[in-house]
């Protein structure tokens, strides 16, 4: 499941009823009578983020909406079932057949909600018989004769509670089927458009769905737990793995299941409901309609009970701070463009709106950051970084860990892929995510896989299983592994659903590393060894086969050029020791770096051939980029003269010298990283629904990358760090280092 968290409750109620966002254009098409007091059904246009297709969705405006211009209306998002998928155009009417929109528009029920109804794409489901055999021509008949008589009221006046109904965890439900999570960004954009352009009550946004849409309701509630005031999945179970965010947010739930459901096993509902109970979530209603079949939604939506319960649920909207970047030029990073004079709204840890400053209102009470003449872009990523252990180690100062985290942020780095796990490092990750500790978002590799930690194929497999169970995000590969052990790691990693990445062991070789599925090839050393790049000038013909293999297997590359020039002896040792950023590092660390460059001899040091080696690395990076291989930003900090965050000022010029455009370089640390971690969260772009990791700079980095090195401010997960704050933190670190050195 794609993981993402989104909050935009309090601010969207006060947005102006004006412009559309750049996520979707709104073109109202009124299908109702022309009276102001009549209910209206609008078709709104948008372009899907999944396939760039032009589509539409329904928005129902209740009777009296036009007359009551000052009234704020509750919003209900309805997700349909599998049989109502379609092209979002002439097939959109299938979504009228069931649910609250059927009640409000077809049955003319006076439901006091703005109802938002998207249509899910086919996503290879079009061959199912009940979809393949339908016809839009049948829709009018199905809306009238095709729907059996409906009960006047919902039958169960006394819902079953979790405590009374749930004690069975023996039936483990399958994961939710593929579907609504793929339309997540589209649905979020629709809600943004509706809440920005219509009179909506931000405290009363409700979610309900049937069958497949019931699954989608659980998914959206789990991924965006602070978004909805209440959620009502109907004949769609929720997997236990989705429950923790819902329980933490205490989202009110009313869950409906059918006792005679031939499509969905009613026992699948109990583990999820029981999990909620065990997590302490008490505001849950669970109604098992024993005599109902899969179409139990007819009962649920025909009566008044559900609607009355929803309207009684109201979410506080003043508890999450709102920040506005005003009059700022935006680099959205979904394309090579600049959006001029924009207003970007952030609530909690999410971007909730991006639009013209002339049309997007500033919510009352929001913190406004002046962006006039400045540029706003996504925060950068360090895709081969290191984070010290929680405890003091190797004689470094006790505060060193927090200093490293701060240095990353000061350099504009808001995401770090940590490439060597240590004891308790997962606790650090959780502390940062929960706000207990300030730092970039961490995605962590576990402890090293090498010839010392892996001595048999079974041990290799067991170690993979352990790392997966412990919660590491990926496996770190170091040199020294045999091909047999590497193959076992790769095979077990695939079975366990965990990535592996890092170095290319000599016995494995670059071709096997690529074919066996290393998610990234780090440092380029595997290529150089295979191509003989230490002692001859590499040609395009030399590099082409390996580059083609890399591209065809969708393997990404993390070059770490600046560091590697130091490792191989191609850097000027005197110049290295003049780096101003060294004042932020402990003296013991710098002393170790100095010893290396003064007395080199490591496994990778190439002596007299260092210059040729460095030139070949640049040729290889150019060729990889020209072939459109995914390049990811990384510096291997903190290592030899690569100071966390600040090392980008050394790495980015190397990338530019290899022929990468400024846009390509920026992509390597933003949108491409977001795509890499798409199963974890949504970030790397400036658009609604993305994690609020942002970098405010004084000029356009598409023209001049150096503006990144002294940002006007950094936002990490919605927390703003101004230039003054960053300078203060840097001064504190420098003073601490100076004091340590004088002891």
Condensed to tens digits (0 to 9), the pLDDT of residues 89-111 reads 999 999 999 999 999 999 999 99
Cβ neighbours of residue 141 under 8 Å, at least 6 residues apart? Answer: none
Q: Compute the distance between CA of residue 482 and CA of residue 459 in angstroms, rounded to an integer.
A: 13
Q: Which tokens in the block code for residue 360?
A: 């997007």
Specify burial of residue 717 (Cβ count, 10 A radius: 0-12, 13-18, 19+). buried
Please say whether the structural domain 9-311 has been given the CATH code 3.40.50.1820.
yes
Residues with Cβ within 8 Å of 722's Cβ and at least 6 positions away in sequence, in order, are 712, 713
pLDDT score, position 182: 85
Name the residue ranges covered by the structural domains of the chain.
9-311, 380-681
pLDDT of residue 458: 97
- What single DSSP character describes residue 507? T
Distance separating alpha carbons of residues 571 and 597, to the nearest angstrom: 9
pTM of this structure: 0.72
Please state, in angstroms and rounded to a whole number, the distance separating the CA atoms of residues 305 and 295: 17
pLDDT of residue 148: 40
* Euclidean distance between CA atoms 485 and 400, whole angstroms: 35
CA 614 to the chain's CA centroid: 35
SS (HEC) of 343-358: EEEEECCEEEEEEECC
- pLDDT tens digits for range 485-523: 999 999 999 999 999 999 999 999 999 999 999 999 999
Q: Quote the tokens at residue 473.
A: 């995000």
Cα-only R_g, the chain:
28
* Helix, strand, coil percentages, rounded to 5, for the chain: 40, 20, 45
Cα 51 from Cα 24, distance rounded (Å): 13
- H/E stretch holding 340: strand 339-347
Q: What is the pLDDT of residue 17?
A: 22
pLDDT of residue 713: 98
Fold classification of 380-681 is TIM Barrel (3.20.20)
pLDDT < 50 stretches in the chain: 1-36, 147-167, 392-393
Q: Which run of H or E residues covers position 114? A: strand 114-117
Residue 215: predicted pLDDT: 93
Residue count of the chain: 743
The angle at the Cα of 422, spanning 417 to 423, to the nearest 5 degrees, equals: 135
């Amino acid at each position: 499941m794609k993981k993402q968290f989104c909050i935009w409750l309090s601010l969207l109620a006060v947005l102006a009823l004006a412009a559309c966002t750049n996520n979707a254009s709104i073109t109202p098409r009124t299908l109702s009578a022309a009276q102001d007091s009549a209910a209206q059904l609008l078709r709104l246009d948008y372009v899907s983020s999944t396939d760039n297709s032009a589509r539409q969705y329904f928005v129902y405006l209740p009777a009296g909406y036009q007359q009551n211009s000052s009234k704020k209306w509750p919003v209900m998002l309805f997700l349909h079932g599998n049989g109502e998928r379609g092209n979002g155009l002439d097939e959109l009417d299938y979504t009228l057949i069931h649910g609250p929109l059927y009640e409000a528009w077809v049955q003319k029920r006076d439901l006091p909600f703005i109802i938002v109804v998207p249509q899910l794409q086919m996503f290879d489901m079009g061959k199912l018989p009940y979809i393949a055999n339908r016809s839009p021509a049948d829709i009018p008949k199905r809306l009238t004769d095709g729907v059996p008589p409906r009960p006047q009221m919902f039958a169960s006046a006394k819902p079953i509670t979790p405590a009374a109904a749930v004690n069975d965890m023996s039936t483990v439900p399958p994961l939710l089927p593929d579907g609504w999570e793929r339309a997540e960004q589209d649905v979020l954009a629709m809600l943004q458009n509706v809440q920005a352009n219509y009179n909506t009550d931000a405290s009363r946004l409700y979610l309900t769905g049937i069958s497949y849409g019931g699954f989608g309701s659980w998914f959206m509630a789990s991924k965006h737990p602070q978004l909805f005031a209440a959620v009502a999945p109907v004949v769609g179970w929720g997997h236990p793995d989705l429950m923790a965010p819902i329980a933490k947010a205490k989202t009110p739930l009313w869950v409906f299941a059918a006792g005679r459901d031939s499509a969905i096993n009613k026992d699948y509902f109990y583990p999820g409901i029981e999990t909620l109970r065990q997590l302490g979530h008490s505001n849950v209603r669970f109604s098992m309609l024993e005599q109902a079949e899969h179409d139990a939604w007819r009962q649920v939506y025909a009566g008044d009970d559900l609607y009355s319960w929803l309207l009684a649920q109201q979410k506080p909207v003043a508890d999450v701070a709102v920040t506005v970047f005003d009059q700022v030029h935006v680099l959205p990073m979904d394309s090579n463009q600049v959006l001029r004079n924009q207003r970007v709204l952030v609530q909690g840890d999410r971007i909730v709106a991006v639009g013209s400053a002339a049309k997007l209102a500033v919510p009352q009470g929001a913190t406004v950051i002046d962006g006039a003449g400045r540029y706003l872009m996504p925060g950068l990523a360090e895709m081969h970084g290191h984070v010290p252990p929680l405890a003091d180690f190797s004689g470094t100062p006790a505060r060193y860990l927090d200093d490293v985290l701060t240095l990353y942020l000061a350099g504009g780095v808001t995401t770090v892929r940590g490439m060597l796990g240590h004891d308790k490092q997962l606790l650090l990750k959780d502390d940062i995510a929960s706000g207990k500790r300030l730092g970039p978002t961490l995605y962590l590799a576990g402890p090293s896989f090498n010839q010392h930690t892996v001595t048999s194929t079974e041990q290799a497999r067991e170690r993979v299983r352990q790392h997966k169970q412990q919660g590491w995000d990926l496996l770190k590969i170091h040199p020294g592994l045999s091909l047999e052990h590497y193959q076992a790691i790769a095979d077990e990693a695939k079975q366990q659903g965990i990535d592996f990445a890092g170095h290319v062991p000599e016995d494995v070789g670059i071709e096997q590393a690529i074919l066996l599925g290393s998610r990234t090839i780090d440092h380029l050393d595997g290529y150089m060894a295979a191509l003989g790049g230490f002692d001859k000038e590499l040609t395009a013909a030399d590099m082409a086969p390996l580059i083609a293999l890399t591209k065809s297997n969708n393997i990404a590359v993390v070059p770490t050029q600046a560091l590697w020039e130091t490792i191989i002896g191609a850097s000027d040792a005197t110049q290295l020791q003049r780096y101003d950023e060294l004042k932020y590092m402990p003296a013991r660390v710098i002393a170790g770096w100095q010893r290396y460059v003064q007395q080199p001899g490591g496994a990778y040091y190439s002596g007299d051939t260092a210059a040729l080696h460095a030139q070949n690395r640049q040729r290889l990076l150019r060729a990889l980029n020209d072939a459109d291989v995914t390049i990811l930003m990384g510096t291997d900090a903190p290592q030899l003269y690569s100071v966390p965050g600040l090392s980008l000022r050394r790495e980015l010029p190397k990338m530019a010298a290899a022929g990468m455009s400024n846009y390509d370089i920026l992509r390597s640390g933003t949108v491409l990283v977001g795509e890499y971690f798409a199963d974890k969260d949504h970030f790397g772009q400036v658009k609604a629904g993305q994690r609020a990791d942002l970098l405010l700079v004084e000029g356009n980095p598409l023209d001049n990358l150096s503006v990144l090195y002294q940002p006007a401010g950094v936002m990490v997960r919605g927390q703003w760090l101004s230039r003054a704050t960053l300078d203060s933190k840097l001064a504190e670190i420098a003073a601490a280092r100076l004091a340590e050195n004088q002891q």
